[in-house]
Structure 1
Amino acid sequence: MKQRGAALLLVLWLVAMLTALVGAFALTARVEALQGRVLGDGARAQELARAGLEYALVRVADPQPATHWRPDGRPYRWHFADSEIEVRIVDESGKIDLNQATPTLLASLLRVRGVEPERAGRIAAAIADWRDADPLAQPGGGGEDPDYAAAGLPYGAKDMPFETVAEVEQVLGMTPEIFAALQPYLTIHAGRGVPDPAFAPGPVLAAMGLDPNAWLARRQPGAAVDGLVGPGSGTYSVESRARLPGDRVAVLRSVVRAGGGPIPGSTYTALRWDESLAPR
């Protein structure tokens, strides 16, 4: 009897252990399946966001007024592969070029974005000193090597053109808050001292001394200017948001130059590329 009882306990223990193992395996398999689904949904959403970018480049080059997309920041929506894609495309010529704009225009943008006038003038002068080759500070302020040393910074003025928009964060007097307020309106790809008002966003128009309401009204559907089509400068900021049926969202923010890219068969060159996924 004792042997039979011990055997029964052993069998029950083995059954319990096997049950636990099967349960653990099932749980692991379920977790891995969910992870695979999330990764798969994310990859699909990212590819859809990229499709939105490429479709936008086709539409912005379309010469037909009825189907042309204007690169002035207005949202365009596209239904593709059972998903909703929203695209905004902005011609870089409508932004303020850090390497070309005058200190006066830079200071004006800073004021429009809420920076106190005297401080705006100093930061604008420091931006000019960062990019110019001489060691002389701008009239009324600026920032050359001695000024950076006096501020306790371990570097001086670069004395060369900006290579990225983010580089302006290193300029004397710049703060993360001010940079966040300026960043959407700055570029290094326009190659012109004065932005094109046909594509400029409201704060840039205001910085140029133009009436933003009047210019933005001309971009509304049905306005006379809507009949004017053209690809613009060919260099664009594109934000493409792809939403899957389950509310999985992929966001692609990029700066691209239309035309043949470095990869055979590509239709654009990526100058900046930032992909992200939002939760369900």
Structure 2
Amino acid sequence: MAQRPKARTDRCPAVDRPDGAPLPGADNRQSGFALVAVIWTLGLITLLGMAVIVGARYRTKTSSNYASVTAAEMAAESAVNLAISAALTATPEQAVNFPLRCRLPGGERATITVEEETGKVDLNTASPAALTRLFTALAGDPSQGTRLAAQIVDFRKPKTQGTPAAAARFTTIMELDQVDGMPPRLFRAALRHVTVRSGKPEPDMEAASPSMRRLLNFEPKPNATKRGVPAGGSMTIRADIDSPDGTRFIREALVSLEGGNGLPYVIREWRRGDIDPSGLRQDPPRAALRACLQVRQAAAS
């Protein structure tokens, strides 16, 4: 009887080899794992490199923007100083009329306006009727305007018995946001139209800015497009700067002429201004503008 052939055992290797040699296919598995690890490592390095590049570009752009804003701010302060110089040396024959549009040495386009404080509503001395008219016009709601006017009158009252009235006065228009119920939108809109320096119960419409006259529905004066610098008192000088790279910066300075103590003027407050949405901005080409220094020299000659 023929014997059956023995089954081959080398086709299915044992799980554990007694000699400790690696199992067949182990090298392939280790190579595959190493390849995956290398791919993941290269991916992480690529991501880190992209993050570094993006961060460097962002820092460069941020630094460039900061430098542009700083340059525009310096140009705005120069424009304010130009207006102060024009105010101090103005004569009826050689007066600089505002708004003044000119070109600064750095190529910035400047729009300089002068707003007399007597043409604004004084937060300390304005009558309730004047306050109501202003805030009703700003809010478009008579009830809200009346309420805010009453809150302003209440704010400027002495808070305790025996307190001097001056202690409760507004010292700056920026304190308007401390009035109860003052919305941020109305606060920012009112800054162009209020003051603490006029001392009048009603604004002088002859000295009011065009935006103030439009707000209160006063007819514009026939020859009010240009106005000279006031001979004395307080005024807000506003410099709107448009740089060649597109940066825009607005700086305002509250200036008192005849500042006292032998000083020709006093800058009482610097403020960063907002864009006036009620006014139409005229932007002639820079090449068509006269240099600001030429305007100043022509006025001084």
* Structure 1 partner of 2:224: 219
Q: Is residue 2:279 matched to residue 1:271?
A: no
Mapped partners of 2:244, 2:185: distance in 1? 36
Residue aligning to 2:208:
200
Partners of 1:182 and 1:49 in 2: CA distance: 22
- Structure (1 or 2) with the larger CA radius of gyration: 2
* 1:1-280 correspondence to structure 2 within 5 Å: 39-61=66-88, 62-65=90-93, 67-70=95-98, 75-81=99-105, 82-133=107-158, 160-202=168-210, 204-205=212-213, 212-215=218-221, 217-221=222-226, 231-259=230-258, 267-274=265-272
TM-score (norm 2): 0.58
**Deviation per CA, 1:106-163, whole angstroms, max 9, x where unpaired?**
1111222244223322321221121123779xxxxxxxxxxxxxxxxxxxxx981112
Structure 1 residues 132 and 85 mapped into 2: Cα distance closer, same or farther (>3 Å)? Answer: same
Q: 1:91 touches 1:233 (CA, 8 Å); kept in 2? A: no
Task: Verify the 8 A CA contact 2:128 2:150 in the aligned structure 1.
Answer: yes
Letter of the 1:54 counterpart: N
1:36 CA drift (Å): 6.3
1:139 maps to which residue? none
Counterpart secondary structure, 2:256: strand
- Distance (Å, rounded) in 2 between the aligned partners of 1:101 and 1:35: 45
RMSD: 4.1
Tell me the secondary structure at the aligned position of residue 143 of structure 2: helix
Contact 1:130 1:159 in 2 (8 A): no
Q: Match for 1:52: what amino acid?
A: A
Q: In structure 2, what residue type is equivalent to 1:112?
A: A
Displacement after TM superposition at 1:238 (Å): 2.0
- In the alignment, the residues of structure 2 paired with residue 118 and residue 275 of structure 1 have an alpha-carbon distance, to the nearest angstrom, of 28
Give the C-alpha shift of residue 205 in structure 1. Answer: 4.2
Q: Name the SS for the 2:187 alignment partner.
A: helix
- Which runs of no fewer than 5 residues in structure 2 stay unpaired? 1-52, 275-301
SS at 2:219 equivalent: helix
Contiguous gaps of at least 5 residues in structure 1: 1-25, 137-157
Taking structure 1 as reference, are residues 183 and 66 closer, same or farther at Cα in structure 2, changes over 3 Å only? same
- State the Cα distance separating 1:268 from its structure 2 match: 3.3
For 1:212, the aligned partner's letter is: F
State the number of aligned residues: 222
- Measured after TM superposition, the shift of residue 255 of structure 1 is 1.8
